[in-house]
Amino acid sequence: MEGKPSESGIAAMADHYKNFDPTTFFQNFVSPEESRLDKKDSLMSWKLSCLHRAFSEGDMKGDLLVDIGSGPSIYQVMSACEVFNKVILTDFLEVNRNELKLWLQNEGGSKMDWTPFLKKVCELEGRSPSEWTEKAARLRQVVTDVLPVDVHRPQPLALHALPPAGADCLVSAFCLESASPDLATFNRALGHIGGLLRPRGHLLLIGRLQENYYFVGPGVKIPVVPLNEAQVCDSLKENGFTLIRLEVYTVSQDETIGASDQERIFFVKAVKSLKVWKKR
């Protein structure tokens, strides 16, 4: 992969994130999805279906799953919590980690209503939507920690945050391309998070293709590395992952919102090969 990671670019990205507002993020990217959950062809339905399918295929097993760059979101671990006994959520920003903790505490402090999304995942699992309360309780039970993460560090989590063998599974949604100033930095960040995963562990990566920016607060525009499918596949290969499946969703005209120029989203299921295991 061409070019070198840019340290000044990374610092500039961190600066952009100083004004990230979790509530605006939720309003821009999560709330609008609620009314479209009944439609088979909607972005959130597609994401939840991809995650459901990945976790129900029976090949992803183990004890510990880590979600990298959770933001204030939990949709990405709603299927995972039925398969893994421990889930660690992570984010670069304290505001996002605090938001996650408010939801986990379940004391009415969280303003983010994930109920429709929990109901949708229950449906995908063949359960009654009314069982969403059980799913919420299960999720709150399996999340053991909410930790700081920086994908640009060779060791993205604190030293002894994970067992020495690493996590059994990693999920990361819309994080690497939104945190990296260029392709070389994206590629290196993927290698960093890959170091957290045990050999033969699975990675589920969701991200944007050919996106240039998104808004996370009034006037807070964050640049995004515009990736294509080939670059995602090359980066996975270079970092020792074997691709199981890459799926692409094209955002429809009526789903496009002014908060980003996203048009296509990828979902990757990959497995870490034994050969290039990097010592953490």
Ligand X SMILES: C[S@@+](CC[C@H](N)C(=O)[O-])C[C@H]1O[C@@H](n2cnc3c(N)ncnc32)[C@H](O)[C@@H]1O
In angstroms, rounded to a whole number, what is the distance separating the alpha carbons of residues 109 and 29?
21
Written as six digits, the tokens of 189 are: 């960040």
In the complex, what is the shortest distance from the CB of residue 214 to ligand X, in angstroms, rounded to a whole number? 6
Phi, psi of 137 (to 5 degrees): -65, -40
Residue from 104, 121, 179, 251 in contact with ligand X (CB under 6 A): 179
92 binds ligand X (CB under 6 A): yes
Contact region with ligand X (CB under 6 A), list: 106-114, 135-143, 144-152, 243-251 = 144-152
167 binds ligand X (CB under 6 A): no
Residue 258: is it exposed, middle or buried by C-beta count within 10 angstroms (0-12/13-18/19+)?
Answer: exposed
Question: Which residue, 71 or 201, is less far from ligand X as judged by CB?
Answer: 71
Phi, psi of 103 (to 5 degrees): -65, -40
DSSP single-letter state for residue 278: P
Q: How many CB atoms lie within 10 A of CB 264?
A: 16
96 binds ligand X (CB under 6 A): yes
In angstroms, rounded to a whole number, what is the distance separating the alpha carbons of residues 206 and 226?
14
Query: Residues 227-246 vs ligand X: string with x where CB under 6 A?
Result: --------------------
Residue from 125, 131, 145, 150 in contact with ligand X (CB under 6 A): 150
Question: Which residue, 94 or 254, is less far from ligand X as judged by CB?
Answer: 94
**CA torsion angle 50 51 54 58 (round to 10):** -140
Written as six digits, the tokens of 201 are: 């562990």
151 binds ligand X (CB under 6 A): yes
DSSP secondary structure letters along 215-269: E-STT-EEE-----HHHHHHHHHHTTEEEEEEEEEEPPGGG--TTB---EEEEEE
Question: Which residue, 22 or 240, is less far from ligand X as judged by CB?
Answer: 22
Residue from 142, 162, 175, 196 in contact with ligand X (CB under 6 A): 175
Question: Which residue, 117 or 241, is less far from ligand X as judged by CB?
Answer: 117
Question: Which residue, 49 or 76, is less far from ligand X as judged by CB?
Answer: 76
Residue 175 near residue 186, CB atoms below 8 Å: no
Contact region with ligand X (CB under 6 A), list: 101-109, 136-144, 168-176, 254-262 = 168-176
188 binds ligand X (CB under 6 A): no
171 binds ligand X (CB under 6 A): no
225 binds ligand X (CB under 6 A): no
Q: List residues binding ligand X (CB under 6 A).
A: 17, 20, 69-71, 73, 76, 91-93, 96, 149-152, 173-175, 178-179
